[in-house]
């Protein structure tokens, strides 16, 4: 199963959702791979911490697709262990920005799909983090994913952007990847005491949008987890927000079994 976490709006929690769902998957014994496609490298830093540095990155892989080599680096060599059991990473690199125009001009949009296909027997779950933009790398992720999770932070700007995001996903599914479906909209940074978030969610439900039933609350514990470079399931396993993430992960697993 390959999941991409995608929203063109920044600050909605893509990296937090990617890393924490992946960490829960790994804690349940599944060999789990995270692919960081954001040049800001937040996911890479979150999972590797202050001490570890990636040896090879996704930028190195994409660079390799632009050149011919008699002995190319093998797909598994781009994968790095994290400090957490069963959790692996293909790290990001700021050099992704300078590579993007070359990759677009050479029509390399399917190369990420090729890489993950070669790794499919090595991992049970794959989570892909994307930049807050509809760029070459985000399109590459949508082209190769089975499911898409859309983080949503319950404001008017996010709602306006949501309709465009759903159109983009539908277009990619029709033109490039007929397996791609929206797995659900993840309500993030939810404030239960505020009226506007609840109102927006109810209106989206009335429009038949796939709002997932588990809402992730706003909490300083997430910032602490970022600072410690330790996902919540290891940093604060009994915290309320951690339990919400576990419940969300369980719900996604049930949905998958129903589809199967």
CATH code matching the domain that covers 2-259, chosen among 3.40.50.300, 3.30.1360.120, 2.40.30.10, 1.10.490.10:
3.40.50.300
- CA Rg, the chain, in Å? 18
User: pTM of the entire structure?
Assistant: 0.95
Using CA atoms, how far apart are residues 96 and 62, in angstroms rounded to an integer?
Answer: 8
Tens digit of each residue's pLDDT (9 = 90 or more) over 89-117: 999 999 999 999 999 999 999 999 999 99
**Taking Cα atoms as reference points, which of 127, 124, 139, 116 lies closest to residue 8?**
139
Tens digit of each residue's pLDDT (9 = 90 or more) over 230-256: 999 999 999 999 999 999 999 999 866
Which parts of the chain fold into alpha helices (H)?
14-27, 42-48, 58-65, 96-105, 111-118, 136-144, 156-175, 195-206, 220-228, 232-235, 240-259
Tens digit of each residue's pLDDT (9 = 90 or more) over 205-225: 999 999 999 999 999 999 999
Using CA atoms, how far apart are residues 230 and 124, in angstroms rounded to an integer?
Answer: 22
pLDDT of residue 7: 94
């Amino acid at each position: 199963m390959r999941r991409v976490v995608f929203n063109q709006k920044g600050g909605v929690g893509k990296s937090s959702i990617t890393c924490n769902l992946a960490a829960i998957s790994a804690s349940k014994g599944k060999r789990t791979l995270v692919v960081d496609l954001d040049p800001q490298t937040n996911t890479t830093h979150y999972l590797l911490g202050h001490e570890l540095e990636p040896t090879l990155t996704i930028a190195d892989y994409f660079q390799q697709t632009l050149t011919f080599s008699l002995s190319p680096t093998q797909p598994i060599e781009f994968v790095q262990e994290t400090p957490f059991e069963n959790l692996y990473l293909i790290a990001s690199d700021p050099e992704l920005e300078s590579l993007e125009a070359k990759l677009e001009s050479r029509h390399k949009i399917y190369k990420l799909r090729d890489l993950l296909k070669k790794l499919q027997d090595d991992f049970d779950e794959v989570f892909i983090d994307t930049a807050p933009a509809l760029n070459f790398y985000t399109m590459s992720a949508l082209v190769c994913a089975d499911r898409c999770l859309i983080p949503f932070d319950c404001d008017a700007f996010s709602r306006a952007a949501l309709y465009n995001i759903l159109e983009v996903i539908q277009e990619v599914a029709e033109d490039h990847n007929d397996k791609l479906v929206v797995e659900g909209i993840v309500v993030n940074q939810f404030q239960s005491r505020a009226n506007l978030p609840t109102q927006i969610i109810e209106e989206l439900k009335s429009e038949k949008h796939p709002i997932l039933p588990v809402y992730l609350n706003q909490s300083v514990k997430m910032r602490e987890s970022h600072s410690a470079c330790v996902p919540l399931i290891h940093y604060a396993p009994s915290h309320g927000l951690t339990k919400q993430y576990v419940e969300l992960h369980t719900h996604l697993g049930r949905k998958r079994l129903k589809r199967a």
